[in-house]
Every structure is written in structure tokens, then in C-alpha cells.
Amino acid sequence: MDSGRFSLQGKVALVTGGSRGIGRAIALAMAEAGADVAVSGRKLPPLEEVAQEIAQRGRKSLAVASHIAKVEDSRTLVERVKDEWGRIDILVNNAGTNPYYGPLLEAEEWAWDVTMNVNLKGPFLLSQLVARLMREQGGGSIINIASIMGIIPSELGIYSVTKAGLIMLTKVLAKELGQYKIRVNAIAPGVVKTRLSEALWKEPAKAEAAAGRKALGYIGEPEDIAGAAVYLASDASSYVTGEVIIVDGGESVGPAPVYD
């Protein structure tokens, strides 16, 4: 099927945190849309499995172990992809973490540092490296995986602050990089069933409550996020930059009203 402006045929994508969850779903959806895809994360074996799944979809794939908070790792990552394919058209800053669940008043400095470094400093430094390459190439698309918790304050306090920062990073980069035909957008998912969010849905009572807050009435799967990423990566979104697409199953609008 020719998907026209929604096609990613001929494009090269780099997806951080591509070994599982939302990153894996985005990597596979981009491969299905025609892109060659590199996936990164700290542990190589699960990345290699995803690389195989990409290859099964008829696309080229690459798995690179890389810690997002270590700039030397990011430099090597970008070089690896460049050596392999000569370009990067799409960067998905998806790797993220939340090591602490509890009130800000009790949070320790290490939790602040780890969350900031992985969720905000890492995407900043990698975007810088990739945007320089995109500028030489004449354009590209950067997609930051933020969170609804970066818009509405949540019980994951430090995490919320990092995601709010990532949304502002998206807007500032969009403003600076538009002149180079580099678009920068964010996706703000609501709760999706992954390892990172287990504390919010593993217990049946919490899962029911989380589902009940959404107009669509269920907690999303990673695949529910991938379509927005393919859209933002493709030429179909050629005039969209500095935007945040909320993909939360209608959590922001809430469940159906009760009249009696």
C-alpha cells in the first residue's frame, strides 16, 4: 500500500529506549511505515531482539547499547548510525525513567539528579548532536516523548518537573531549528501499560481507577502511542512544529458525565 505523505520510506530513524514499551512500539511502527531504524538503550540483548523484529518487517536495523545520560555514549551512538546509514532523519527521544515514587518533601538529591539526567539532560544533548547532522542534511524531525504528567502536576513530582522541562525544550528547539527545516514536537502519553508505569496499574484497584479516569475507559498499550509518532515523523506533519500531542485515551477530558 502506498501511504503517500504518511510513508517513512527512505528515512532513517533513531529511537532511544527502543528495547521495550513505548520505544519498541514506535520503532516497529516506523519500520512498518518504511523507515530503517536504530534502537538504543543500556542493555544490548533486548535491543538485538527488537532489531530482529525490525528486520522481519523488511527494513534495515541497528542495535546500539548507549546510556542516554552519558554524552560520550550519545556521541558514539550518533557516529554509529551515521557510519552505517550516513544520515538521521528522525530522532525519537523516548528513553525515560522514574526511580522514586513519593512526595517531593521526602525526595533525595540522587533521585532528582538521575531523573533530570535521563529525562531532560540526555534528550537535550542527543538532540544537539543529531540536530547538527540534520542541519547539514537540510532537515529532520525530532520527537520527544513527554507525558501528560508534564502538563498536569502528578504524584510523580520530580518526573512531572522533568517532563514539563522536556515540553519547553521541545518548544525552544522548534523555535531555533525551524530555520533549518528541523521540526521538533512532543507526545504526551497518559498511563500506558509498561514496566515504567507498573506502580500505576499493576494492582487491580489502581488499574480500575486509572481506566475509570479516561473517556475511552481503558489503560493504553504501547502501540496506542506509536501512530502519533509516525505522523510526526512523516511529511504528513510538514507544517507542525513546537506542538504537544496528548495521547491519553481521553484522560484530560475525563469519563462520560453521570446525569442521575
Ligand X SMILES: NC(=O)c1ccc[n+]([C@@H]2O[C@H](COP(=O)([O-])OP(=O)(O)OC[C@H]3O[C@@H](n4cnc5c(N)ncnc54)[C@H](OP(=O)(O)O)[C@@H]3O)[C@@H](O)[C@H]2O)c1
Active site residues: 159
State the nearest-atom distance from the C-beta of 194 to ligand X, in Å. Answer: 3
Nearer to ligand X, 68 or 182 (CB): 68
The minimum distance between CB 119 and ligand X, in angstroms, equals 6
Residue 184 CB, nearest approach to ligand X (Å): 16
Query: Smaller CB distance to ligand X: residue 35 or 200?
Result: 200
Q: With the C-alpha atoms ordered 51, 27, 25, 176, is the resulting torsion angle positive or negative?
A: positive
Q: Using the 8-state DSSP alphabet, how is residue 118 labeled? A: I
Of the candidates 108, 115, 95, the one whose C-alpha atom is nearest the C-alpha of residue 158 is 115
Question: Which residues make Cβ contacts (< 8 Å) with residue 59, sequence separation at least 6?
Answer: 31, 34, 35, 36, 37
Smaller CB distance to ligand X: residue 174 or 192? 192
Q: What does DSSP say about strands 244-247 and 61-65: parallel, antiparallel, or unpaired?
A: unpaired
How far from 63 is each of 12, 111, 143, 222, 224, CA to CA, in Å? Answer: 13, 28, 19, 20, 23
- Distance, CA of 191 to CA of 16 (rounded, Å): 19
How big is the CA angle at 107 (ends 101 and 113), to the nearest 5 degrees?
95
List residues near ligand X by CB under 6 A.
16-17, 19-23, 41-43, 67-69, 94-97, 118, 145, 147, 189, 191-192, 194-197
User: Measured from the CB atom, is 140 or 189 closer to ligand X?
Assistant: 189
Please report how close the Cβ of residue 232 comes to ligand X at its closest, in angstroms. Answer: 14
